[in-house]
Structure 1
């Protein structure tokens, strides 16, 4: 029975035990429960950390916004230090920090905040330190930036602030330290810090601030209120009487006779007229030459070079001397044999009455009785009476003039 009771208690104890998430490192710092969940690409504040956490660090993650009542719904009501720096937070709900009554240090530096509600930190009554450096508060309205009765330290370093409205810090009565360094404003008015009655230290380091009358007046007021401050105008300005004395300087008497030579004879010499200097041809050309003439000469030289280049190109690449060259047609040289074949074929179809072309009459042997040799007898063809033209078959069967081979029956004209 005792063993069963012991096992039940052990099981209950194991089930109630909470473990530290894999993304975090959990330890104790100055007696406070700390959870460090840095550089883990976390996109939400709820990663499974115990509700008893008091120091919660979510630096360098990917958290983009804080919804209303996000900490209260999870149960993180024991938080005292919350670090959300170097995320991508661009929006914070009006009641995002509701339920964090014990929170006294909040770090939102290095985010993308451009504007926040003035009452966003009203749900954290114990807030003492607020770090908003590295955000983008370029344009601020002439109204209270933050409303809080207990806030003591405010860091607005490197927030790209271009102008400081007079009512910016009217609702921070207990503010003691203010950092406005590394911003873009070029003037500073005393009315900005007049409502801060408990201010002990202010930082105004800025490359755009110069020793203007407004800055000198602000530094005088800061010094009169015994506020710690690194002065920008370290050079002491002289008083009015000192300015008048410094402006009037005594000079030694000057001997005019030694300078002007009024009483000496050297001054009585007549002025010598300056002779005209002979100019060289180059100097004369440089004097008379104008920009318009240079333009005209350059244009003429360019045209001449273009014409010469075009002529050389035509002579080089066009053998005919023209821009578009067309090669002449070459006629095939006629051959005597071709002319013979052409006439032969033409006679068979044109002069069908001729058995043999006139120019190719051959010698016909004499068919008379043999005897002594006589002179050769040429056969003459007498014109026959008109008759119907023979057919193509009769022309082809004539044995006197055999047709030429098939591959030579071409008309080469």
Structure 2
């Protein structure tokens, strides 16, 4: 009789698990509400016109076309019946399981101010990236038509809330877009006059990096014309702009790069959660008193040996997926379970601008062009397939040598008031 493994989520953890899990008499079902796996670390480059969507996303079915034991289903999970051991899909379908792995990821969180979302979109999916890309490009197009200097200034003010890696990387590329890529393409506006504002409630940018690298990143951003504001949170966000404390900044384009909130997966299985909604799991990544249910990736609250939270980054998710595959294989072969999951930190990486990046490997810290090349090679290495690696490498080479971004198409209908 086949053992049925259901994986909810086709992200890094889910994909790694399915790739590593090969056993006789085993069937694997991957369920995702989108038909593609997304390389999230480069999602901001789609949002900022450097890469096309097809360069960082691949159909899940294509990834497993040679695996007859893997079935891919396009559907939205709305609940789990732990008694009947089945996953409920929107529309009424139920998918039975013997082992369930929840790898449903996370979405951006607005710290109780969800009304900000229409004005400050976050960046977790391709739809988010194309929305932000459209707003960025439309800002320049509208400014070209605007005759009122104050309205034009607001249109050319771009605010990024949150100065983690995503926020820093977004600010750097928007600055490059305004200072280099678009300079000769407009006649009524000077794109170099664009104001890029990076706001961080904490004391410094890139807080998970060593302080010296954080200071380097802030200096590099300043040299590119990015205005960095730290130590004061955003207190309001509207269609007209943002408030930093009591100061109102007119800004028609706002991007959210701050907090995240886990999916509802923990609620589905009655697991204990942390403040961000992540399921608190056992050392083997299972749910307490439910050994047949694993929770991995951004959906799980996993602790390191030192008691800190395992970061929600791609290498951590892949390690968890690989570990769960080992546990399931050991169970099926009736062997001893592997030791508890132990996260191996590979370092933190962030790019700032052309030929500028920071890398924190703990005792080894790199910055500048050397770090930028390592960052680039590392990301290309983890892309799926030779074609994607070549496409991204060529896009980066073109952007680096010419200063032009190849994905500057305005698509997707916008519904904000005042859009044309």
TM score, norm. by length of structure 2:
0.18
Relative contact order: is structure 1 or structure 2 higher (C-alpha 8 Å, sep ≥ 6)? 2
Query: Higher helix share goes to which structure?
Result: 2
- For the pair shown, which has the larger CA radius of gyration, 1 or 2? 1
TM score, norm. by length of structure 1:
0.19
Query: Higher strand share goes to which structure?
Result: 2
